[in-house]
Amino acid sequence: MLMCPIGVAWAQTATVRGVVKDTKNISLPGVTVAVKGTKLATATDNNGRFKLNISGSPVTLVFTYLGFKPKEVLTGSTNDLEVIMEASASDLNEVVIVGYGTQKRASLLGSISTVHAEELTKVPVANISQALVGKLPGLITSQSSGLPGSDQVDLYVRGFSSLNKNSPLVLVDGIERDLNNLDASEIESVTILKDAASAAVYGVRGATGVILVTTKRGKGGKPIFTYASSYTLSSNTRMPDYLDGKEFVSWYNYADEINGRSHTFPDAVVNKVNNGDPDGIYGNTDWLNEMLKSTAPTLEQNITLRGGSESVKYFTSLGYLNQQGIIKGVDYTRYNLRTNLDASVTKDFSISLDVAGNTGAANSPQVSNFTGNGNSVTTNLMNQIITAHPYLNPTTPDGRYLTSSLLPGDNPLAARDLSGYNDNDNTAIQTSLSLNYNASFLKGLSFKVVGSYDKNFYHTKSFYTPYTVWTADATQANPVLYETASPYGTVAMLSESYSQSRRWTTQEFINYKHTFNKKNNIDALIVAEQSSYNITGLAASAQNFDLTDLDQFGFAKDNPNKPTGSDNTTNRLGYVGR
């Protein structure tokens, strides 16, 4: 007799908890607690306490907190820890970005968090807001769409406010600008001002927090050329398991039985679904596999050039992004260009010039974004994929799109290929000029004037083209196919809109910074800011085209709706003293 021992092992799970304090016995909130050598991590709560479930013991816990020295603790006989962290003098002397300037961390009264360029570029993402997820303590993120070109993350610094869940104020190099179209290679750091003390200089606009984005600038030395490229594949993480054609007809007939009805699908139809239909009408269609690609590629490339001399420093970047959707015909393309120049004209006078631009184009099938004839059609492409009946083939052998008499009109493949298009284009130009003067008559006194002009163009064009599908009577073994109009109407419709926005911003700074007796510091700042933001728009629609190849207003027969237009201007004037 041969005996073979079988061993079974269970991984032991333990809970480690504790509190983190400084040398003055004050609890530290937001300390990162990580298991060394793994990705398992958590953060301390407002009382400095933490709890972490670990597999096996002992493990080494790594505690990190800005302004404090990292600390490693080996778990042992007790899993209830008290960790004391020591302040780091080098971190306290670190210069950080704050509202309208910089300060040493040791002199900060407010709560801020910063993430630098090396962290933002570790993971290739299509939108810079996605790179901020999980990187900044106190930053709440929410993503509602994965559509290429519209997959930005909603950012909230101080939670959801009672007024329309207001997003924080976003400033790029001190000017109010959009964060989402920036290339990660352009960014030096992102800082969030989390509390009232740190965001107070922005008044009511900073009530829901402030995000400060600083772009890269030139450095003295030899030119440094960098090229980065990434190719990523995205896929659906999980999809529901829907009934196939065989299961659908079986359960449908069973539902008829328990409700005292005769079978909807006769045996001849069930046989064709199960064993194949020589006429190519009935089948077993997996609509998810039919419509969704297994992976969607994203290609991102960027080139940067950085360098300069004592008198002139420069940074230039060029970026390219192409993002494909999981559905054929959905894609987004973006180009980015930036040049930041700094020139010292004299010993006391310098000039900075920033010029940046980006242009993007997003495309998708029309039916995925459809509103027509004054009625909102809720059935979009994904809904059709989910609800489409699987016992019919997508098309007949001669290429006609099929639909069932039990759900007339719906065919996701036809909606994708024949419904038209929805295109969105945008272009942004951003410029800033800064003049800096260090007063020779009083050491520490400086003056700065900043002027910026930004302009954005938006264009949306949506064209619905009517199409027909061929309906099969699912109760007949040999159905006669007949034409059926799509569920979105029989009239071709065109809608198009243009808008443009422009923003003027000027800022005037007077700053006095001086150290007395090597111990006493004074840093005083006065700022005046003026801004004017104007946005204009024009939208029109038309319908009934004899030739759908001519998708221009001049070829429409009917214009039932008047064109609409808008023009809005917002002016601001503010003063800041610190």
Peptide bond into 297 cis (omega under 30): no
Domain membership of residue 542 as a residue range: 280-298+336-578
Both structure tokens of 16: 């480690």
Q: What angle do CA 192, 195, 197 make, to 5 degrees?
A: 110
Specify whether 528 is located in the same domain as 422: yes
Residue 456 near residue 500, CB atoms below 8 Å: yes
Q: Identify whether 329 is part of a domain.
A: no
Nearest to 377 by CA among 419, 316, 344, 347: 419
Kindly tell me if the per-residue pLDDT of 164 is higher than 70. Answer: no
Q: Which long-range contacts (CB under 8 A, 24 or more apart) does 1-4 make?
A: none
How big is the chain, counted in residues? 578
Taking each continuous run of H as one helix and of E as one strand, the counts in the chain are 9, 32
Q: What's phi and psi for 345, nearest 5 deg? A: -75, -45
Final residue of a structural domain among 198, 215, 232 = 215
Specify whether 396 is located in the same domain as 452: yes
Give the pLDDT confidence of 345-376 residue by residue, as tens digits. Answer: 999 999 999 999 999 999 989 886 544 433 33
Give the pLDDT confidence of 497-527 residue by residue, as tens digits. Answer: 999 999 999 999 999 988 887 777 888 889 9
Give the pLDDT confidence of 293-308 residue by residue, as tens digits. Answer: 989 999 999 999 999 9
Please compute the mean of the pLDDT values over residues 157-172 and round it to a whole number.
71
Both structure tokens of 447: 């003056």
pTM of the model: 0.80
Specify whether 525 is located in the same domain as 411: yes
Q: Identify whether 447 is part of a domain.
A: yes
Least confident residue range of 105-114, 263-272, 311-320, 377-386: 105-114
Q: Identify whether 200 is part of a domain.
A: yes
Specify whether 81 is located in the same domain as 97: no
Kindly tell me if the per-residue pLDDT of 208 is higher than 90. Answer: no
Specify whether 70 is located in the same domain as 102: no
How many domains does the chain contain in total? 3
Q: Which residue has the higher pLDDT, 56 or 238?
A: 238
Q: How far, in Å, CA of 373 to CA of 383, rounded?
A: 20
Q: How far, in Å, CA of 284 to CA of 274, rounded?
A: 8
Final residue of a structural domain among 159, 185, 215 = 215
Q: Identify whether 258 is part of a domain.
A: no
Q: Identify whether 247 is part of a domain.
A: no
Give the pLDDT confidence of 52-106 residue by residue, as tens digits. Answer: 888 766 888 999 887 788 899 988 767 789 999 988 765 555 666 666 766 665 4
Which CATH number characterizes residue 54's domain?
2.60.40.1120
Specify whether 123 is located in the same domain as 59: no
Q: Where are the alpha helices (DSSP H) in 276-406?
A: 287-291, 381-387
Both structure tokens of 60: 């080494």
The amino acid at 283: G
Percent of the chain with pLDDT over 90: 50
Please compute the mean of the pLDDT values over residues 245-270 and round it to a whole number.
94
Specify whether 541 is located in the same domain as 558: yes
Specify whether 151 is located in the same domain as 110: yes
Give the pLDDT confidence of 544-564 residue by residue, as tens digits. Answer: 998 888 999 989 998 888 899
Query: Residue 127, SS3?
Result: coil
Specify whether 458 is located in the same domain as 522: yes
What pairing do the DSSP bridges indicate for beta strands 101-104 and 468-472? Answer: unpaired
Specify whether 109 is located in the same domain as 73: no
Facing residues of 576 across strands? 527
Under the banding of pLDDT at 50, 70 and 90, the label for residue 449 is very high
Alpha carbon separation from 425 to 149, 335, 463, 538 (Å, rounded): 10, 12, 15, 15
Which CATH number characterizes residue 207's domain?
2.170.130.10
Final residue of a structural domain among 38, 60, 88 = 88
Specify whether 490 is located in the same domain as 522: yes
pLDDT of residue 5: 37
Give the pLDDT confidence of 524-540 residue by residue, as tens digits. Answer: 889 999 999 999 999 99
pLDDT of residue 10: 41
Specify whether 291 is located in the same domain as 376: yes
Q: Any residues with CB less than 8 A from the CB of 247 and at least 6 apart, and which?
A: none
Nearest to 341 by CA among 362, 324, 317: 317
The amino acid at 158: R
Q: What is the DSSP letter of 279?
A: T
